[in-house]
Amino acid sequence: MDNHHTTLVWFRQDMRLEDHPPLHHAIERGKSIIPVFIWEVEKKGVWNPGAASRVWLHHSLIQMQKELAAKKSQLIIRRGQALSVLKQLIEETNADSVYWNRRYEPDSIQHDTAIKTALRETGIEVKTFNGSLLYEPWEVKTKSGTPFQVFTRFWEACKLFPEPSKPLPVPKILPPPLQWPHSLDVHELRLLPKVDWTDGIRETWQPGEKGAQTHLQRFISSAIDAYSKDRDFPAVIGTSRLSPHLHAGEISPRQIWYALRESERLHSAAQRSNEIWAYLREIGWREFAHHLLFHFPHTPDKPLRTDFERFPWKNETQNLRAWQKGLTGYPIVDAGMRELWHTGWMHNRVRMIVASFLVKDLLIPWQEGAAWFWDTLVDADLANNTMGWQWSAGCGADAAPFFRIFNPVLQSRKFDANGSYIRRWIPELSELPNKWIHEPWTASADVLTHAGINLGKDYPFPIVDHSFARHRALNALQTLKRKLS
């Protein structure tokens, strides 16, 4: 098959047509373009996509196929080792160039470097681009040239850079090859579970580029002006909910940046500007997470603060299972874990509460929580997941100190005062009055009976007393300090 020097554009976590640098540059090259997706054979020791991420990917690929079909193109889907598949496609199509967006996880960097070297040795042109971050992780550094470990200083350094480049437009058409190579059907990748538990994800989300734009426009039109106030309340849709789309690359941070900056220009009020920058700061946290992972590649498994390798964690499987299932007896914790299981997502405030409960109330290693989130979150970025769990455990960069232990009842009363979030995800508590819904074990027998609750049967008693757990955690911290002295 002679395709007159085709360019293969390798799609990974960049399932979009707008602001896609490899596509843009392939079009500028003026040759035919074959978009490619490769589902690699899962490898041991590598952070393969979790179950929820695979479900999202399945639906995202289907949407990508539709978007490409509208541009008179196709997504060629293959399975296997990426280098072998790319070489096979090069031979089948007479392609002489391969373009892709860079990924920044430690395994991905090593993997991509090997592929790039091997292809160039055969005379293939390889070009890679930044399509997922505002700035490259190696660009932002301290005056002494070292990586940042404090977010505020990192973000101030970012703001000294020129604004990110503007998003690239959606291509009008993608030049097709003379003949298309064979492609697998998405279903042949077997990304969906054998026993279907995905109803909640399908009900909650619209994977794909259009779904991302829907959330972005909804956020700008109805939520941004109260973002600082509403973002901490899980019963309110006060956040952008763009994290799964960012994870899949269905929208880029540059697109978000310029959409918000344009909104700021159109609404010159200081309040709108302040809220926009409060949100862009959260995009900055995502950048910081990738910065940390790039410079400290051991952190998905080991604490950045090496002294925490000696922390006296407890490996109590029964308590871990209760936490995973949303059966700890603390309603705000259980609501969060059930939201996660049903939708593949959890509100950020609640993520902090459930993480604090696991590592501090239960003294279960943060790696266990990170692994569960990795498998169940549809927005499971390795960088964000690692930073968030190390922050909660007090062992990472810019981390909350270990002695900052969230009280789940006080957090619940503050951020879900009328129990709306709890009632949504724990319907067995729905008839409890607000006074008792945050700590049902303190309600009288009459109150529980009136609410139709048999505590210990319909809903569990707390698996640990928070006051006891707090003192135990602080004692464990003192033990760690004594070991270091």
List pLDDT tens digits, range 292-313: 999 999 999 999 999 899 999 9
Task: Clarify whether residues 222 and 336 are in a common domain.
Answer: no
The answer to whether residue 1 scores a pLDDT higher than 50 is no
Q: Token pair for residue 316?
A: 């109590």
Mark whether 10 is an active-site residue.
Answer: no
DSSP secondary structure code for residue 252 in this structure = -
Q: Is residue 130 left, alpha or beta, with left meaning phi > 0 and alpha meaning psi from -120 to 50?
A: beta
Residues 86 and 115 in one domain: yes
Strands 97-101 and 125-129: parallel
Whether 313 is catalytic: yes
Predicted confidence (pLDDT) per residue in 407-427, tens digit? 999 999 999 999 999 999 999
**Residues 278, 315 share a domain:** no
Domain that holds residue 323: 306-484
* Residue 202 located in a structural domain: no
**Of 259, 276, 295, which one is at a domain's C-terminal end?**
295
Domain CATH code at residue 118? 3.40.50.620
Does residue 155 have an active-site annotation?
no
Same domain flag for 73 and 147: no
- Of the residues 313, 428, 434, 441, which is catalytic? 313
Q: Of the listed 56, 100, 155, 366, which one is catalytic?
A: 366
Q: Is residue 278 situated within a structural domain?
A: yes
Last residue of one domain, picked from the residues 275, 295, 315: 295
pLDDT the model gives residue 398? 78
Same domain, 336 and 477: yes
Tokens of 153: 């200083």
Give domain status of residue 411, yes or no. Answer: yes
Length in residues, the chain: 485
Q: Which of 40, 92, 136, 282 is catalytic?
A: 282
- At 266 the pLDDT is 80
| Residue 285: active-site member | yes
Do 323 and 347 reside in the same domain of the chain?
yes
Identify whether the C-beta of residue 380 lies closer than 8 Å to the C-beta of residue 373: yes
Asked if the structure places residue 171 within a domain, the reply is no
Q: Among residues 47, 323, 341, 389, which one is catalytic?
A: 389
* Residue 208 in this model has a pLDDT that exceeds 70: yes
> d(Cα 87, Cα 83) in Å, to the nearest integer?
6
User: Cβ neighbours of residue 445 under 8 Å, at least 6 residues apart?
Assistant: none
How many Cα atoms within 13 Å fall on the side-chain side of residue 402? Answer: 27
Query: Same domain for 13 and 150?
Result: no
pTM, full prediction: 0.95
In a domain, 300, yes or no: no
Domain count, the chain: 3
In a shared domain, residues 462 and 381: yes
The reply to whether 81 falls in a domain is yes
Contact 24, 115 (CB under 8 A): no
Is 282 one of the annotated active-site residues of the chain?
yes
Residue 153 and residue 120 share a domain: no
What lies within 8 Å, CB to CB, of 321 at 6+ separation is none
In a shared domain, residues 119 and 139: no
Residues 238 and 312 occupy one common structural domain = no
Nearest to 434 by CA among 408, 230, 231, 443: 443
Q: What is the pLDDT of residues 125-135, one digit of tens each?
A: 999 999 999 99
Cβ distance 279 to 261 under 8 Å?
no
Residues 14 and 32 in one domain: yes
Pick the catalytic residue: 48, 348, 407, 434?
348
Residue 226: partners with Cβ closer than 8 Å, 6 or more residues away: 238, 275
How far is it, in rounded angstroms, from Cα 54 to Cα 63?
14
